[in-house]
Amino acid sequence: SQQGEEDPQALSIQEGENATMNCSYKTSINNLQWYRQNSGRGLVHLILIRSNEREKHSGRLRVTLDTSKKSSSLLITASRAADTASYFCATRNTGNQFYFGTGTSLTVIP
Amino acid sequence: DSGVTQTPKHLITATGQRVTLRCSPRSGDLSVYWYQQSLDQGLQFLIQYYNGEERAKGNILERFSAQQFPDLHSELNLSSLELGDSALYFCASSSSGQNYEQYFGPGTRLTVT
């Protein structure tokens, strides 16, 4: 499978702490995106990082990309209960096919 | 609200039947994507259309087909349904097939009994 994998599968933290989740993928990519999904609902785009970028910030989010290791990380700082959701990385390969990782389930305890 | 609409919200049908799922993209978006999300397979990319033309194909079964119409709405047809086809089906749209974020609809939950 060319599907990416997120690590950890599940993460539980206290409100105010930082949450880090990692994504590994298998193919050459044009960009990598992170999405959030609240239970049973549609995914919401968080951030996109292009293959020639190494780091990107958006509000409390920080994403890194290491194409040599085919991995990316998403850091959420100062977490809030509303951040409780599943987080997915998504890659688009040179064949225009999209692959979503297996997801990290984040629980932020108030 | 992403601006992407999907109908119906829920669908319960029997094995062997055929169903059609409908998606209206965000205003101005030319690309439509279809995904299947199930517990055991995760989120699987099925197919992408761009301005009426098929752009990319993923893990779409031969029993499934899709099209995008001139008004840019899209339909996903699922035939000869099996129990394993029970899943959430998402449609997403973007303004381009390249490096643009996708906006997801609320999904159609299909239950095959």
User: Where residue B95 falls among pLDDT bands split at 50, 70, 90?
Assistant: confident
Q: At residue B109, does pLDDT exceed 80?
A: yes
Q: Residues 38-67, chain A: which have Cβ within 8 Å of B?
A: 40-45, 48, 50
pLDDT value, residue B99: 63
- Please name which of A19, A16, A13 lies closest in space to residue A80, comparing C-alpha atoms: A16
H/E run at residue B23: strand B19-24
Distances (CA, A) of B108 to B29, B40, B50: 20, 18, 21
A50 chain-B contacts, CB cut-off 8 A: 99
Q: At residue A3, does pLDDT exceed 70?
A: no
Task: Decide if B104 and A43 are in contact by the 8 Å CB cutoff.
Answer: yes
Q: What end-to-end distance do the CA atoms of chain A give, in Å?
A: 37
B35 chain-A contacts, CB cut-off 8 A: 100
Average of pLDDT values for B9-16? 97
State the average pLDDT for chain B: 93
Task: Decide if B104 and A44 are in contact by the 8 Å CB cutoff.
Answer: yes
pLDDT tens per residue across span B34-44: 999 998 778 89
User: Where residue A6 falls among pLDDT bands split at 50, 70, 90?
Assistant: confident
pLDDT tens per residue across span A59-106: 999 999 999 999 999 999 999 999 999 999 999 877 778 888 889 999
Strand boundaries in chain A, DSSP class E: 5-7, 10-14, 19-24, 29-37, 43-50, 55-58, 61-66, 71-76, 85-93, 98-100, 104-109
Check residue A82 and report its DSSP letter.
G
Distance CA A75, CA A30 (A): 21
- Please name which of A24, A72, A95, A45 lies closest in space to residue B90, comparing C-alpha atoms: A45
Average of pLDDT values for B12-41? 94
pLDDT value, residue A40: 79
Q: Residues 49-108, chain B: which have Cβ within 8 Å of A?
A: 55-58, 88, 90, 92, 97-107
pLDDT value, residue A1: 45
User: Where residue B16 falls among pLDDT bands split at 50, 70, 90?
Assistant: very high
In the sheet that holds A71-76, the strands lie side by side as A5-7, A19-24, A71-76, A61-66, A55-58
Taking the mean position of all CA atoms in its chain, how far away is CA A75?
A: 8
Tokens standing for A103? 């997801």
User: Where residue B98 falls among pLDDT bands split at 50, 70, 90?
Assistant: low
Q: What end-to-end distance do the CA atoms of chain B give, in Å?
A: 31
Coil, helix or strand at residue A65: strand
How open is the CA angle B101-A58-A67, to the nearest 5 degrees? 65
pLDDT tens per residue across span A12-61: 999 999 999 999 998 888 889 999 999 878 899 999 999 999 999 999 99
